[in-house]
Amino acid sequence: MNEHPPEEGGTETKAGAAQSLRELIEKTFLIGLGAAAITKDRIQELVDEFVKRGQLSSEEGREMVERLATRSREEARSALRRADSSFQSAIRELGLVTKRDLEELQLRLRQLEHRVSLLEAAEDEGRGADVPS
């Protein structure tokens, strides 16, 4: 048993919330993907039945399935963009650091370290001129 629960809004709580949110988004996406696959299979069955009955030509049936598959892919991409946007918003609200944020901070740190190094080198050169040989 944990004697010291994480502070409210602490890193562990935020990380856990982010993980839960990510899992929820992934599950929602997978459910949607499964529904899309079932729908495509069902559409194909219906189109095949129309072709058998002579209500659609094979070419019309193929075109219909292709149009619906294209639309389904577009909707899936759109759903992914919305899910990603929601996920990014949740990350910001939780105050979590993204990989991009970390990379930007690392770059800034390297730049500052370089500037300090240059200043120290210039200071050392300045002192070296004052010291008698």
Ranges of each domain in the chain: 11-96, 97-133
The rounded distance, in Å, linking the Cα atoms of 14 and 94 is 6
CA angle, residues 31, 34, 38, in degrees to nearest 5: 140
Q: Taking 90 as the threshold, does the pLDDT of residue 49 lie above it?
A: no
Within 13 Å and on the Cβ side, how many CA atoms surround 70? 6
pLDDT digits (tens, 9 = 90+) for 85-124: 888 888 888 888 888 999 999 999 999 999 999 999 999 8
Q: Tell me the mean pLDDT in the region 69-98.
A: 83
Query: How is residue 9 annotated by DSSP?
Result: T
Show the tokens assigned to 42: 């069902």
- Predicted confidence at residue 118, as pLDDT, reads 96
Show the tokens assigned to 94: 């939780």
The rounded distance, in Å, linking the Cα atoms of 19 and 7 is 18
H/E stretch holding 87 reads helix 58-94
pLDDT digits (tens, 9 = 90+) for 5-48: 444 445 556 666 666 766 776 677 666 666 666 677 777 888 88
